[in-house]
């Protein structure tokens, strides 16, 4: 490691452009999980190209012969991100820039004449990046906490597991089936995948019991599992349909909370976060059974918060609007139904039709990692005096007070 971090020259016009570019990333709604890496590469490449042009103008070698210059310029770019301010989006953008630097370094390592130079520059980049992380990261105090997450194999649940694991928590992830993404997290972090049917009382009890048997306690419970199906009419929703939706969307939270609460109390307190929905307040006819189940969950959230707050257990709800998850994007799901009705593609339905037709003020739907970020905040001791709350994350779709 170098003894001192690299210094960026504020008088360099390129540096000014980089800092300005980084500052535009704060609050930029287009920086989503799906396109963050591509965005970083697109943003960085013009600046690295400019740097190489200056090298050529000075009679220096071409980019193929001088891979060191892009890495130096990326370091200046990260310095610009640091100048831009303390924002979560800025940190994510810095992460993407570091990924781009690694790509350039890997490319450069294939050049035998300059095999060592990129690694030195990359080490300096990493030192700077770590200083950004240290300055900008809010400490959530979730390291070594034991968290149980339901519906953990995809969508919001998977994003919550990923964020909890990244904070150093010990995660027990419950789902009927696993996914390659969840298996990858389990291989990398302290994540235990438990295959359970959470629409049954036995499944909820087994999930909690496995967490207690492995770790001896529970500190956090995230009730995320749920299901919905597009309905043509209330008249076509059968009793079996109602039972299936309520079992998975409402009674799963009842049963898992009932199994976990004695352990949360015994641990000296903890947190439950229920993933509800704005459909609890905006009951659309096409999801009449799901809306009713989420309304029941929001009511349960308040009741549990009242009873268990004196025992040190906080209970809060997160109510998202439309979120870019398989709930919407899976074949035959709501994006396809909306696309068919509007005569557009599913992507256009999510990016244009839904925000416009639903009156989403921000002009876009929510991303799963944004719901996960809010969930972790409520689950953490940082939100130590917040209980009984329902936090809506919908881009301004709900207009009522």
Active-site hit among 73, 290, 327, 334: 290
Distance CA(291)–CA(297), nearest Å, equals 10
- Helix, strand, coil percentages (3-state) for the chain, rounded to 5, are 60, 10, 30
**Residue 43 structure tokens:** 């943003």
- Residue 323, H or E segment: strand 323-324
The single residue listed with the structure tokens 């000296």 is: 268
Cβ pair 12, 76 in contact under 8 A: yes
Distance CA(285)–CA(233), nearest Å, equals 7
Catalytic status, residue 290: yes
Q: How many CB atoms lie within 10 A of CB 391?
A: 18
Distance CA(226)–CA(40), nearest Å, equals 34
- As beta bridge partners, residue 223 has 274
- State the virtual CA torsion across 74, 75, 79, 84 in degrees, nearest 10: 20
344: Cβ contacts below 8 Å, ≥ 6 apart: 352, 353
Q: Catalytic positions, please?
A: 290
């Amino acid at each position: 490691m170098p003894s001192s971090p690299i210094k960026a020259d504020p008088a360099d016009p390129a540096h000014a452009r980089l800092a300005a570019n980084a500052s535009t990333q704060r609050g930029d709604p287009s920086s989503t999980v799906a396109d963050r890496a591509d965005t970083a590469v697109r943003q960085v490449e013009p600046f690295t190209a400019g740097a190489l042009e200056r090298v050529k103008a000075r009679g220096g070698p071409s980019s193929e012969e001088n891979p060191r210059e892009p890495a130096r310029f990326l370091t200046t770019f990260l310095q610009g991100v640091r100048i831009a301010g303390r924002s979560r989006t800025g940190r994510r953008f810095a992460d993407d820039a570091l990924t781009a630097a690694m790509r350039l370094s890997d490319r450069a390592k294939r050049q035998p004449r300059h095999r060592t130079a990129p690694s030195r520059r990359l080490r300096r980049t990493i030192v700077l990046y770590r200083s950004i992380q240290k300055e900008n990261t809010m400490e959530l105090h979730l390291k070594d906490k034991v968290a149980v997450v339901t519906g953990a194999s995809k969508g919001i649940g998977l994003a919550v597991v990923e964020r909890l694991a990244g904070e150093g928590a010990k995660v027990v992830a419950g789902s009927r089936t696993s996914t390659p993404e969840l298996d990858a997290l389990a291989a990398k972090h302290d994540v235990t995948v438990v295959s359970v049917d959470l629409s049954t009382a036995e499944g909820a009890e087994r999930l909690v019991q496995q967490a207690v048997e492995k770790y001896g306690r529970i500190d956090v419970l995230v009730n995320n599992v749920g299901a919905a199906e597009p309905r043509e009419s209330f008249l076509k929703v059968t009793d079996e349909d109602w039972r299936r939706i309520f079992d998975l969307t409402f009674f799963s939270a009842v049963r898992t909370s009932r199994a976990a609460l004695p352990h949360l109390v015994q641990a000296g307190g903890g947190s439950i976060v229920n993933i509800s929905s704005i459909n609890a307040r905006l009951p659309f006819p096409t999801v009449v059974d799901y809306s009713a189940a989420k309304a029941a969950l929001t009511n349960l959230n308040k009741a549990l918060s009242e009873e268990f707050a004196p025992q040190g257990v906080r209970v809060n709800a997160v109510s998202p609007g439309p979120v870019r998850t398989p709930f919407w994007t899976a074949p035959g799901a709501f994006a396809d139904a909306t696309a068919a009705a509007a005569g557009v593609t599913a992507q256009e339905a999510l990016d244009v039709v839904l925000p416009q037709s639903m009156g989403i003020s921000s002009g876009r739907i929510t991303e799963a990692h944004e719901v996960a970020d809010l969930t972790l905040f409520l689950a953490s001791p940082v939100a130590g005096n917040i209980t009984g709350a329902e936090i809506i994350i919908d881009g301004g779709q709900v207009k009522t007070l």
